Every structure is written in C-alpha cells, then in structure tokens.
Amino acid sequence: MKIRRIGLILLFALLAVTLTACSRAGQSNSWSGVLVTEDYVYYAGGSQVTALVADSGNVAWQYPEKGSPQRLFYAEPVLIGEQLIVVDYAHQLTCLNAKTGAETWKFTQAEGRYIDSPLVVNNMILAPNTDYSLYALDLSGNLVWEFKAGHALWARPASDGTTVYFPSMDKYLYALDAATGALKWKVALDTTTISRPLLENGVLYLGNLDGTFFAFNAEDGTRIWQQKVGGGVWSQPVLHEGKLYFGDQSGRINILNSENGKSVQQIETDAAIVGTGALLDEGLVFGNEDGQVILVGFNGERLWTRSFDGSIYASPERLGNRLVISLNKSEKPLIALDTNGNENWYYGKKK
Amino acid sequence: MWDTIIIEPFINLLLWISKLVGNFGLALILFTILTRIVLYPLTAKQIKSSAAMQELQKDKRYIEIQTKYKGDKEKLAQEQMKLYQEMKINPMASCLPTLIQFPIIIGLYQAMIQTMATGPLDLLNLTRHIYPKFLSIAEVLPLNSKFLWMDIGMPERLHIPGLNFGIPVLAIVVVISTYISTKIMTPPQQPGAADQGAMMSKMMNLYMPVLMGWLAWSLQSGLALYFVVTNFVQIAQYAISGKVHWDNVVFWKKKPEGKK
C-alpha cells in the first residue's frame, strides 16, 4: 500500500508539472530581441540575456548567471553609454554594466510584463508595460512620472525629445509631454495596435492589427492619410527616400508613398512578416515565419533569399557589414550573416 | 485537425461571449457554465451509472461473490460479469461519458490558454484562429482581462495593504471546492469494504485538491476561475441528481455506525 501511495503521489506530481508546462504560464510566447554594437551582440532570448563577442560569436557574459522560467527576457536590450537596460516578463527593468553584465540598479514598480524595450531620450528611460503604464525613469532608475493608458502597452514609444508617442492596446495613439507625462492628445486607431510608431519629419507612421496603416501629424494628431494593406501590421516601417517599407501578417512586403499612402508595390513572400526590415545599401532585409531572409531592392525587386530552419519573427539587425537574425524553433537561434546573406557564425547548439 | 474541430470553435465562442459581456473573466464563467450544461446529458448518465454500481456493491450476491472468490481473480471476474448481466448493469457506462467529455475538456482548457494570449506569439496565433466572417479583430481585441481584483492572464494574488505578499485567494477556493466536490461525490463506505479501491479513492480525494490548488496557484487566474466554476457547477449537477453525499463533508455531525 505504501508503494501505491508513493506511486500515486509521483503520478500527481508528474501531472502537475506536465499541466503547468503545457499551459506555458509565465513563459515565452514571444521572440527574441537583439542589439548589435561594434563590440557585442546582446541577445535577449528567454531566461537569460547573453552578450556575444561581435566578431566571433563567443559568449562574453550571461545575465542572470542561472536563468529561470519565472524571469524571461525577450525585448531588445538598450545601450546607454556603458549601461545596458534589459526588461523582462517578471515586472523588472534592470540596468547592467554592458561590458561585464553586472547589475547596477533595478526598477521593480511595474506590475505587468515588459513586452517591448524602452526608449531612451533626453536622459530619460521610457518603458511601456502591460500594466497599462508608461514609466519614465531617470538614468539611475528613479521614477520621474507615470502615465496610465486604457490598456496594455506593447510597443516602444517614439519621441522627438519634447513629445512621446505610443500606441496602446486600447486602440489609441497617445502623445505626452516628455518632461511631465501630461497628455497632449490622443487619437483613435480603430483596432488594437502593437507596432512601434515611426516619427519622421513631424509625421507619425504606424499600422494596426487589422491591416490599416496610418500617417498622423505629430503636432496635433490629425490623420494625414490611411491605407489598407493585406494583413495585420506588427512592426515599425522603414522610411527611405519618400517610401515606406514594412511587412504584414499576410506575408507581403508593402512599399507605400509616404506623402499620400498610395501603394507603390507589394512583394509576396510565403509567410507572415512581423519584424522590421533592416536597411542595407542595396535594399531592405526582411525575415519571415518560414525562416526566409529576403533582400528586397528599393524598387521592389528580390535580390536574394536565404532559408534557415525555424521561424523569423524578430527584426534582422544590421551594423556595418554584419547582419544578425534570430530564429524561433531553431537549433541556431542567433545567426550572424554578412550583407550577402552568408553565415559568419551562429549561437546555439554546437554539433 | 484538432485545432479546426475543437480549439477554433471554442476560441470563437469564448471571444463572442467576451464581446457580448465586455469582460473576459465574466465570459470565462459563462462559457464554463454553458459547456457544462451542454455536457450535462453525459454527466447525468455518468452519475446514474455510478449510482447503479454503488447499489450493486450493496447487493447481497455481490458481497457473497467477493468473499467466496477472494483468491481466484478469474472466477471472481466471471461471476461479477454474470451479475452485471443479470442486473442489466454496464460497468463501462460510467466511464464512457467521462471518456467522451475528456477531449472536450482538454480542448476547453487549451482554447482558454490560447485566448488569453499574454505574449506576441500567442496573439499572432490567436488572430489566425478568429473566424473572419464571424468576428473581427477590431471587435474582440483587446480582451478586458481585469476581473474583480485579478488579471485573468496572470497568476492571481490578492494584495492587502500592510501585507508584503499576495494571498492566493482563488487557489484556496480551488482547494476547498475541489475537496468538497470530490467528497460529496464519493459514496459513504460500506461496512467491511475497506479494500484497496476505497483506500485509493480516499487518497485521490486528498491529492486531487492539492494538485488543483497547485495549478491554480501557478497558472493564469483564468484557469483557476475555470476550476472554481467547474467545481460549483459539478456540485450543483450532483445536487440536482440527488446524489450528493453531504455526510462526507459535514464532519461535525456524528456518522452512523459502520460509516467511515
């Protein structure tokens, strides 16, 4: 009977672990964030933030030393001088020494997850959180102001130094005074929006999950134009010589005229594009859910395509001649390429 | 296939209710009650069959067979089968409804997790499950996940001023309601029937609330809410069938002789 009892306890324990794991509570459900600098590639890829030597891909340091499923890092780290800001799913915004990974300070007042990374402007850290708040901190981690929106914030704000702009899942685009956090204006976006806005020449560009792309006057929030595209927009557009380039959930790369929103071209790929394109000299590189890395010329021609195992959701990151892509469901979650798409090194399971 | 037949209809129904009532927590409660009502014919059948089995165990002939063929399992099984046929009892009848309900309950559980979409990848998948002719993303997103003091997508804790930790109220309610629901469904033990089966059921009654409590403590509060509602609906369904054994939970009342 004693053996049976132990067996039953073990069975229940196994069931508890399995059900907890299956429900993925407190777990990922996201894609990695990557920051590429001259010396290091910072990779927020789950339970740890890893600093890799940019030339070789060797690990320089990892934070925390031992990862745990309770604390997950997915947002792209942000560099301020020698300080590296990392955010996690356990309500924490942490400042690290960028060279050593040593913890400098921590901001723990938020109650929700940090889905996207903060914006740093005028020595102020602006961190969006799923607890509906945008937190403004000084560079020592002290709270300067807090603004509560109508729902969760999933996108990094944009700012010109005087005004901060960000969308909320409550279907509004907000403009706040950067110094005080006071609301200047807010406009309806019709559908939930989680893409980062792009601020260029006094115009804000962003798209929503219903596939409507907008241009707003940053001064007062008036709608300049709007354009429907084939699928939900998840990422920030890239503006180059009067044209906006961005992917959508239907797998199309859209090229719009930034003046009037008219579609210039649509390039079909085989799977959803949720990351921002990386600007190269010849065009823009996009990654799609099928693991394809596609270089599209500025006139919409496909220059090359490389295929990898896994799915690409995160934005490819470029610095100089280096292009870094991160993949989900892959044995090589981080791959460094040259600008012709040839593999230099990868980080992951070594065979 | 599984997604198309089970998960997607559940997700769309859940989102539709959420759109109607304007709150995801409330939608979860209504959705759970609705599915339990739909599954009630199966539950009723199961309750009826279990009751018949309990009656059988009180039968003189059944007790005699147990004693007579204690050492001969093969003969015991044969005699039991004969008795089942004689009394027109199908021993599988109480298991079959459970087996049919099982994939539905698993699907329900998965649909709820996917609908709660607490991260970008979940949200991406959720948008793909929405029937575009039935619901639009603009109508159903974002989900209002605030319900009472909790966020449905996060583990539940009640923070009381002055306490530097949160109280897992829902997990406690899950433990208590699971304990009560398992106890009231267990028939009082017959005299002399303290066999291994009875011992196992006693242990199950003890471990099940602990398991459910652990899940409610560690998983999203939406799931804990689902457990609580399920337990209450289950208790109500048993009460309607008149098969509730309140004696098992009314511990302050002296039990009649022979009952354990």
Stated pTM of the model: 0.83
Most confident of A49-58, B61-70, B92-101, B159-168: A49-58
- Among the partner-chain residues A9, A209, A328, the one whose CB lies closest to the CB of B207 is A9
| pLDDT over threshold 80, residue A157 | yes
- In angstroms, the separation between the Cα of residue A24 and the nearest Cα of chain B is 8
- In angstroms, the separation between the Cα of residue A23 and the nearest Cα of chain B is 6
- Among the partner-chain residues A112, A192, A274, the one whose CB lies closest to the CB of B141 is A192
Q: What pLDDT digit, counting tens, does each position of B210-241 carry?
A: 888 988 898 888 888 988 998 999 888 888 87
Residue A69 near residue A56 (C-beta atoms within 8 A) = no
- Chain B: residue nearest A151 by CA? B142
Determine the pLDDT at residue A179: 96
Closest by Cα among A116, A54, A109, A124 to A87: A116
Determine the pLDDT at residue B259: 45
The sheet carrying A93-97 orders its strands as A78-80, A83-87, A93-97, A103-107
Contact: B137, A169; criterion CB under 8 Å: no
DSSP chain B: -HIIIIIHHHHHHHHHHHHHHS-HHHHHHHHHHHHHHHTHHHHHHHHHHHHHHHHHHHSHHHHHHHHHTTT-HHHHHHHHHHHHHHTT--TTTTTHHHHHHHHHHHHHHHHHHHHH--SHHHHHHHHHHS-TTT--HHHH-S---EETTEETTS---EE-TT-SSEE-HHHHHHHHHHHHHHHHHSPPPPTT--SHHHHHHHHHHHHHHHHHHHHHHHS-HHHHHHHHHHHHHHHHHHHHTT---GGGT-TTSPPPTT--
pLDDT: is A306 or B41 the higher one?
A306
Residues forming a β-bridge with A254: A246, A266
Q: How confident is the model at residue B187 (pLDDT cuts 50, 70, 90)?
A: low
Determine the pLDDT at residue B251: 62
Q: How confident is the model at residue B108 (pLDDT cuts 50, 70, 90)?
A: confident
pLDDT: is A212 or B241 the higher one?
A212
Mean pLDDT on A101-112 = 96
Closest by Cα among A298, A289, A278, A299 to A341: A278
Chain A contact set for B121 (CB, 8 A): 28-31, 313, 328
Integer Cα distance of A16 and B201 in angstroms = 19
Of the ranges A69-83, A208-222, B214-228, which one carries the lowest mean pLDDT score? Answer: B214-228
Residues forming a β-bridge with A97: A83
- In angstroms, the separation between the Cα of residue A37 and the nearest Cα of chain B is 25
Of the ranges A35-39, A138-142, A173-177, B48-52, which one carries the lowest mean pLDDT score? Answer: B48-52
Q: Express as a percent the part of chain A with pLDDT over 90.
A: 86
Mean pLDDT on B11-15 = 94
Mean pLDDT on A288-295 = 96
CA dihedral A73, A79, A83, A88 (to 10 degrees): -10
Compute the mean pLDDT over every residue in chain B, rounded to the nearest whole number: 82
Contact: B219, A25; criterion CB under 8 Å: yes
Q: Where are the beta strands (DSSP E) in A64-202?
A: 78-80, 83-87, 93-97, 103-107, 119-121, 124-128, 133-138, 143-148, 158-159, 163-167, 172-177, 183-188, 198-200
Chain B contact set for A231 (CB, 8 A): none
Compute the mean pLDDT over every residue in chain A, rounded to the nearest whole number: 93
Q: Express as a percent the part of chain B with pLDDT over 70.
A: 87
Determine the pLDDT at residue A13: 72
Contact: B142, A152; criterion CB under 8 Å: yes
Chain B contact set for A108 (CB, 8 A): none
| pLDDT over threshold 70, residue B35 | yes
pLDDT: is B45 or B4 the higher one?
B4
- Determine phi and psi for B253, rounding to 5 degrees: -85, 135
User: What type of residue is A32?
Assistant: S
Of the ranges A173-177, A181-185, B19-23, which one carries the lowest mean pLDDT score? Answer: B19-23
Size of interface A-B (CB pairs under 8 A): 96
From residue B13, alpha-carbon distances to A158, A159, B2, B17 in Å are 37, 40, 16, 6
Q: What pLDDT digit, counting tens, does each position of A42-57 carry?
A: 999 999 999 999 999 9
Determine the pLDDT at residue A25: 46
- In angstroms, the separation between the Cα of residue A149 and the nearest Cα of chain B is 13
- Determine phi and psi for B189, rounding to 5 degrees: -70, 135
Integer Cα distance of A46 and A48 in angstroms = 6
Partner B contacted by A344 (CB < 8 A): no
CA A340 from centre of chain: 24
Mean pLDDT on A302-329 = 94
Query: The tokens 């929503």 sit on which residue?
Result: A208
Contact: A194, B154; criterion CB under 8 Å: no
- What is chain A's alpha carbon radius of gyration, rounded to the nearest angstrom? 21
Partner A contacted by B141 (CB < 8 A): yes
